[in-house]
Amino acid sequence: MKKIKIRILPIAAVMAVISVIASVAMIYNILEKSNNPLLTNQPDVILPNFVGQTEAQATADEQFRYEIEYTYSDEYEKDVVISQKPKAPRSVKQHSTVKLKVSKGIMISEMPDVKMVSRALAEETLDKLGVHIYFQKEVNTDMPAGLVIRTEPEAGTLVNSGDMVTVYISTSEKIKNGEVPNLIGTDIVEARKAVVKSRLKLNVVNVQHSEPAGTVIWQNHGAGAQLPIGTPLEIHVSVGEGEEEDDD
């Protein structure tokens, strides 16, 4: 029995050493590759602004890992970075993951026929085209209220993502309108006041732009247009350059 113990003890000691070495190696590997700042010994680096660069230019920077999401865009050319998370500039750990949204360019589609369908179904169908949808009520006693009378552009027309599509919805009620104010170039605070006065609703989309932050740079209906009271008026507001896009 004593001889057996003498042989087993050195083997157990060697196995223990191997186990310790393996554990240390595993822990080091986790610390080396982890994106968690609390668990990493990676150095801090400055995250640059990739927005406006091509995907190839952005991902050529080997200091980071990348997750790419592709989406159609009427504002950015194909293969150009639209936005990133985290936003830049900021200090991050080397080899941190950066999420990039990359443009697939403009999507060209054929306008579908949505006549006589409900507003909800028309919206669901047109959303897939990436177009801006404006619903306009129109008095029509020949068909049930709430159904699509017609669209502009009409069915069969080629449309680009980002185009405006007007959908006319049947109603039997008398429609009261508000006048669209001219908001281009105004401050967002003044724009809100003007829209409230016109009895319309405001839908704000924040975008990167060279204009000072808070400046209205686009609106989906021209000044002077008559819209039913309560109609959403969409505007694009600059957040300056290098900031992350967000909807308000």
Burial of 197 (0-12, 13-18, 19+ CB in 10 A): exposed
Q: What is the pLDDT of residues 129-138, one digit of tens each?
A: 988 898 888 8
Position with higher pLDDT, 31 vs 11: 11
pLDDT band at 117 (very low <50, low <70, confident <90, very high): very high
- How far apart CA 112 and CA 164 sit, in angstroms, is 14
Buried b (16+ CB within 10 A) or exposed e, 203-237: ebebbbbeeeebbbeebbbeeeeebbeebebbbbb
DSSP reduced 3-state for 86: coil
Whole-number average pLDDT of the chain = 84
Q: What is the pLDDT of residues 65-101, one digit of tens each?
A: 999 999 888 888 999 999 999 998 899 999 999 999 9
Where do the H-state alpha helices sit in the chain?
A: 2-33, 55-59, 119-127, 188-197
- Please report where in the chains the tokens 């619903």 appear, as a residue: 135
User: pTM of the prediction?
Assistant: 0.50
Written as one letter, the residue type at 226 is Q
- How far apart CA 123 and CA 4 sit, in angstroms, is 81
